[in-house]
Structure 1
């Protein structure tokens, strides 16, 4: 792996600096997520959702390793930063602590929160990949693209789980039906 930098101009350094800041943000977000996912798994009612969160945690650990590899390649270290994903993690934690939710509603709310986290991460990875390419960091962009692809796979898993949970609760839980009416109608064709 060689040096990927293309520009020595002040603008190039500024862009590299911004890139490292964004890379740090996503690194810190993955670390925060890795700490939160076991809590999500414990809060899930269905075994399938619990295993999905366990797998999500394992993949998040892999993402952290890949991001460390990127920092090493660039000769940089992640800075201290408040993770920009925290608001989404807090939403999931509120769901878990809400004792008024039925088991089905809790799982669906956790799935919804997880989808938002994955979508948020996907958007950040896509932007980071684009910035890496524009800065001439092709090797870094390849690593980021592999993480992005895994995020999109996660999103598909959570969408599938959401449709299955909504369909399986047809007529059983009014709160679930009301909250997820659109998803239910879309999944059943009604």
Structure 2
């Protein structure tokens, strides 16, 4: 795979995020349905709604830079989803609940890194409006990670006290 310019690298990053967000809409619904801890399940459900907004926002970014919205397969997200499907098929209860929190955190870390990179590139390339939209999503991903981290801590404390 040869990338000829920073602009092309930026567009490829957007395409990977567009793919990622679309995959995560379904994955977050699965996480919400599988998680028996009501607070965590609700957090996954709310982040699913937010992720749908991220898809829409990426479409706006593509429009602003004059590109057609396209996906580019992202192996990291595919691996996380595949790994989760296998684990969920073999486990249940509080073990699955805690695993779901962890996989959510892994995904948020990935998204934060990816959005951080495309946000920086957008700014450097003079796509200021796109950079603002991407920055907004980056902040929301950071908030989602914080929420999941708190849910994990609460879950761990609850397990320790049982």
Structure number, greater radius of gyration = 1
CA–CA distance in 1 between the matches of 2:100 and 2:107?
11
Alignment length (residue pairs): 158
- Segments of 5+ residues of structure 1 without an aligned counterpart are 1-12, 173-190
CA–CA distance in 2 between the matches of 1:113 and 1:80?
22
Kept after mapping to 2: 8 A contact 1:30/1:60: yes
Counterparts of 1:40-119 in structure 2 under 5 Å? 40-84=31-75, 85-99=77-91, 101=92, 103-119=93-109
Kept after mapping to 2: 8 A contact 1:92/1:113: yes
Equivalent in the alignment of 1:146? 136
Asked whether 1:27 is paired with 2:18, we answer yes
If the length of structure 2 is used for normalisation, what is the TM-score? 0.91
Equivalent in the alignment of 1:137? 127
4+ residue runs over 4 A deviation: none
> Comparing both chains, which one has the higher relative contact order based on Cα–Cα distances under 8 Å and sequence gaps of 6 or more?
2
Higher helix share: 2
CA–CA distance in 2 between the matches of 1:92 and 1:151?
20
